[in-house]
Structure 1
């Protein structure tokens, strides 16, 4: 069932009014009840104090007897005296709970089974049954309890006042609720009509019947909304008129697509060329093995060459897939806080075996730093850079991995002691399939895809990468910068 906004607002207002009036009435009546109870307790404490003073006075100044005998002998007279003074019924009990005096001896005995044990333990206890209050207070002399004084009085006037206030709040609350609901319904109906007018205006715009002026002219949020709808109406008109200008943008987009198509063709041409070389070598050795199947030297040589070329081919395919995935699925990115020192230490440990194979020493100068990035991508970046630094180094060379943290970024420097990269080729090395030294790349198994993938992953992680020539010696230094994690 669908309810209009007018009835929803009206229902909400009714619930809000009932809750507010009910809560206010409850709090006021609770305050009245608490105040009556405090006044009653104060008055009865005063009466109990007067009664205790009178009993102790007679106990001290009278004939010296034990407390049980005193309460038994003086109880009736004291009960009548205290009843006359207080205007209430007074009953006295000795320390064992036995009644020794009653100011209204002919009246029905009250039930004090629940309150008397507390009073005999030197505690004040009272109970209200209907309109009758039974208030029991201990009487103590020299830290010994003589007995208990029991006041019985009516609290009917207090109950009558509370009931009259309850009726007043019920009638007044009902009147306020009805009047407030009527005014609220009128106001909500007006607001609902204004919203309905705005809805009709949006329907007109949807049909293409554009507005000449705002639907509502008010100085409130609905007036602002009406003005916003009118401005949207004008903007739609302007957009329809500016569609012709979009043709130029479409042409630019087509030009971009042509460039992408050219890059794709170049990519296919390069990868075909790269695939052809190892496949040619494998095929040549396969033909030789077919011609000379019994030549042990040829078999050994063919096994080594085919193994090397298939490994190179596998690595080439792997890097192409990584590069394609990085470009196509850039959205598959999970940035997190990464301990840079820990990550670089792990990468150096992974590449230690390969470095020893090439006779290269890896040195670490690492500082604590926390950056933001995808952990898998960061690992791939540093593994590729370290792999390049090892492969294109000189015999018995070194690779130094260091980092430093600035105010907003962390800088990682991976330096080798190789022959270096000419300045005019530093930007080209990040292009797919580009290698500085083709002969050395083939010997080391390089495909020209590693740095292209590194740059793509670095950009995805909001980083920057560059190449420098160290001022204090030969080699190449790759500088990678990533944003630091913000600490709160």
Structure 2
């Protein structure tokens, strides 16, 4: 059977309070009972002491006779006298266990044989019978024990007080239970409603109904949880939108070369006897197939980079030397496109994976060449800002509009799709670059190019400071 959270908390709180009250009540009642017993024992001990003084005085001042004879002669008189003095029933026993005196001879006698046996052995004994306490104590003479005295003390007042106190605690416990149950129910009902709202929020997110604001505005853990759920909701919503955009883009990008391949295949089927058309269509099919293959390879690479932690072998990298090497690789392509490569590099080291850096800067430098203007320039430079190294790849090309810069790192997004198709761009290069940069604990941003022309991509890493000269090895 399913029990709601509010009932669990309410019953737990009520049970805890009831247990606490019960324990405290038990301890207090035990303390009261112990105090009453001690007070009565002290009172009876004082009465025994008074009786001892009276009987001893009577025994030693008169003619010395055996204790048993003394008790048989004086016992009844002494019992009546001591009963009147103490206000309780008094019985005197001789050493043979026979009643020698009773202040209330007509009253029914209790069976105190066991307690009397202890008292005759010079020990104090008592037993409780209903609302009466029978207290038996030995009486001493000059030569040892001479008798046993019994006080019958009423416990009615003590028992009545104890019962009243017990009822008070019972009623208090019931009241505390009811009040705590009601307060606990209403309080926990509020908490349960809040938790239920959080559950409803998660159910809405699960069904794709995204939240527009946090469901709970509270300054406690539930408020923090609600804020966390809302942030998760925003992240999921953004990821779903990004995923949808990704599939829309990849569908479009795959559709274009496939359409071109199908169209040229149809031309070959229809005009296969035209050598010129065959050559043109074959070249177009080969070109579009290469583009399609590149799209698939790049998409797989991006997917692997996002899902798996690729092998990362960080080392000390002299960034100026690495950029020099990469510029040499691209020198031929730049000259063929009529682009001038300029470098303004200062020696600096970072701690990163070399293969990842090569991919990052080859892609950025290649883009700077492809999307440049005829007779343009690509400027490769670096600078140290505080504890960070900034690497700048600048071009004098067509540039990127300011409102497009936030999206250029999205997969398959291109500023100019037609030009990207002409240059063989897939819209995945910068998405890969961003992934590689972030895996090296760096950042990347784009700004205007030199003199407001073209674009400047700025990649930032933390400067590596070697602990000793042996740590700084050139690569």
TM-score (norm 2): 0.50
Which has more radius of gyration? Answer: 2
- Point out which structure has higher relative CO (alpha carbons under 8 A, 6+ apart): 2
TM value normalised by structure 1 = 0.48
